[in-house]
C-alpha cells in the first residue's frame, strides 16, 4: 500500500473520527472505533482506527514482506507511545492545552509511524520477528476494543472535561 496514501487517509479519518461518535448519535459500534470523549486514549484511538484498517488492507497486498507483522506492530506501537509522550511533555512545560499543538502532535505521530513502517519494510532485519509482531498486534487490538467500555483507571483514559472514564465519560 502506498505509504503517502496511508498517511493522508489516516489524517482524514482521524479528524473525522474525532466527531463521528457525536454525529452518530452515540452509536455503540462507532464508539469502538472512534473517540467517545476527550481523553488521551480516545485521541490515540482516532489514529489507530485508520492505521489498523490500512494494516488489514495492506496484509492482502504486501503480507509477503519480510517481518510484515513485526513492522506494523512497531510502527503502530510507536504512534501509541508518541501521542501521550509529546502531549504530556508540552503540557508540562506550557501548563496548558493548545489545540494547534495537539493537531500537530497527531499529524507528526502518524508521519513518524508511517515513515518507520516504510523504512522497516525496506531495510529489514535478517531474523524473522513476525511472531512478536502478531502477538503485539493481538494485544493492541484486544486493548483497542476493550478499553472504550472498560478503561483502566489511569490518567490516559480520564476525560479532562467530565473527569470520568471511557464511554461513561461522555455526557448524553
Boundaries of domain holding 18? 3-169
Query: Tens-digit pLDDT profile for the chain (172 aa)?
Result: 689 999 999 999 999 999 999 999 999 999 999 999 999 999 999 999 999 999 999 999 887 788 899 999 999 999 999 999 999 999 999 999 899 999 999 999 999 999 999 999 887 777 788 899 999 999 999 998 899 889 999 999 999 989 998 887 765 4
pLDDT, residue 172, reads 45
Task: Say which residue the cell 506494523 belongs to.
Answer: 72
- The DSSP call for residue 154 is S
- In sequence order, the 6+-apart residues with CB closer than 8 A to the CB of 57 are 1
Answer whether 0.85 is exceeded by the pTM.
yes
Helices (H), the chain: 3-23, 28-33, 40-62, 68-94, 99-122, 130-146
Work out how many domains the chain is built from and give that number.
Answer: 1
Task: Report the pLDDT value the prediction gives residue 148, as an integer from 0 to 100.
Answer: 84
Amino acid at each position: 500500500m502506498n505509504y503517502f496514501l496511508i498517511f493522508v487517509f489516516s489524517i482524514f479519518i482521524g479528524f473525522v473520527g474525532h466527531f463521528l461518535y457525536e454525529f452518530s448519535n452515540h452509536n455503540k459500534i462507532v464508539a469502538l472505533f472512534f473517540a467517545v470523549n476527550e481523553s488521551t486514549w480516545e485521541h490515540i484511538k482516532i489514529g489507530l482506527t485508520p492505521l489498523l484498517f490500512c494494516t488489514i488492507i495492506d496484509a492482502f497486498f504486501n503480507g509477503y514482506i519480510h517481518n510484515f507483522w513485526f513492522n506494523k506492530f512497531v510502527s503502530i506501537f510507536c504512534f501509541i507511545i508518541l501521542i501521550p509522550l509529546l502531549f504530556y511533555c508540552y503540557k508540562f512545560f506550557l501548563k496548558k492545552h493548545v489545540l494547534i499543538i495537539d493537531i500537530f502532535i497527531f499529524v507528526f505521530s502518524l508521519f513518524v509511524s508511517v515513515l518507520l513502517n516504510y523504512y522497516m519494510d525496506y531495510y529489514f532485519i535478517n531474523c524473522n520477528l513476525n511472531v512478536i509482531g502478531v502477538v503485539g498486534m493481538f494485544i493492541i487490538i484486544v486493548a483497542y476494543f476493550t478499553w472504550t467500555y472498560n478503561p483502566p483507571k489511569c490518567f490516559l483514559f480520564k476525560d479532562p472535561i467530565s473527569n470520568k472514564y471511557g464511554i461513561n465519560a461522555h455526557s448524553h
